[in-house]
Structure 1
Amino acid sequence: MSDLVERLRAGGWRMTAQRRVVAEVLDGEHVHLTADEVHARAAARLPEISRATVYNTLGELVSLGEVTEVATGGRATRYDPNTHHPHHHLVCAGCGVIRDVRPGGDPMADLPDSERFGFTLSDVEVTYRGLCPACAPS
């Protein structure tokens, strides 16, 4: 489970009603919403919230490193609040659903020195693609 709201409070982020509702909408495990989905869910809780406020808040959360943008190849960017819990993504090529996965091993160590071209690695992003049970042929 994401601890986004608690992290933001602990970090002293000014928690307006609009910011709070965006953070609450994003909070949770396997949460990978588009900006429009965040806006729709936030507006259900706080009808006066504007699309611009949602976009600005998402941008600020990304800048703070509290939310990451997840690109899923040709689909709308999604926002992931689980930035402090190392994980990869499993993406359905059919419907686009995303799940957080934590396979064993160290992906940083999986790249041999001969393939690093002198780079000093700082991060690894792995995306597994396939079909979820609802999209897979029977």
Structure 2
Amino acid sequence: MSTLLERLRGRGWRMTAQRRVVAEVLSGEHIHLTADEVLVRAAERLPEISRATVYNTLGELVALGEVTEVATDGRAKRYDPNAHRPHHHLVCGGCGTIRDVQPDGDPLAALPASERFGFTVSDAEVTYRGLCPACAAGA
């Protein structure tokens, strides 16, 4: 069973067939699907699921803090179920693949006080960009 499904059940979230399928599609590691990709995969499991249901369910999951939206380079938003473990992203500039990474060190410590402009910094989102092995091989 996916961690996302377990978290949702633990919260008492009403688990309709449509919501369950969306949560199942988002299960696993390094999942960063667009809403349309979620719809295609959900429809393979539950053909009657509608676009509106998928979009509404994704919106609810984001509002609950169970899924985060990831946007890179003006591409479509992607949905990341790894919302409860701090991490950064590694993005391929060729194919758009996104991987979760946990580098050593605290990214907040890397920002000197002189560059904080009086802000109380509570979080950092770091995106590493490059080429995945497949794209690098074709370059």
- Report the TM-score, using the length of structure 1 for normalisation: 0.96
AA partner of residue 93 (structure 2): A
Q: State yes or no: 1:28 paired with 2:28.
A: yes
What displacement does 1:75 show? 1.1
**Which amino acid is the alignment partner of residue 76 of structure 1?**
A
User: How far apart, CA to CA, are the structure 2 residues paired with 1:12 and 1:123?
Assistant: 28
The equivalent residue for 2:134 is 134
1:97 counterpart residue number? 97
- Give the Å deviation of 1:34: 0.3
Structure 1: runs of 5 or more not aligned: none
Map of 1:97-116 to 2, 5 A cutoff?
97-116=97-116
Equivalents in 2 of 1:129, 1:55: separation in Å? 28
Q: Percent of aligned pairs with the same residue?
A: 82
The aligned counterpart of 2:66 is 66
- AA aligned to 2:99 is R
Residue 16 (structure 2) pairs with residue 6 (structure 1):
no
What is the aligned length? Answer: 137
Q: What is the CA–CA distance in structure 1 between the aligned matches of 2:91 and 2:33, rounded to whole Å?
A: 13
C-alpha separation in 2, matches of 1:54 and 1:109: 39
Structure 1 residue 74: Cα displacement: 2.0
Structure 2 residues without counterparts, runs of 5 or longer: none
Larger fraction in helix: 2
Query: What is the Cα deviation at residue 137 of structure 1?
Result: 4.2
Over 4 Å off, 4+ runs? none
The root-mean-square deviation of aligned C-alpha atoms, in Å, is: 1.0
The CA deviation at 1:108 is: 1.3
CA distance in 2, matches of 1:25, 1:101: 21
Question: How far apart are 1:125 and its partner, in Å?
Answer: 0.2
Q: How far off its partner does 1:86 sit?
A: 1.0
- TM-score normalised by the chain length of structure 2: 0.95
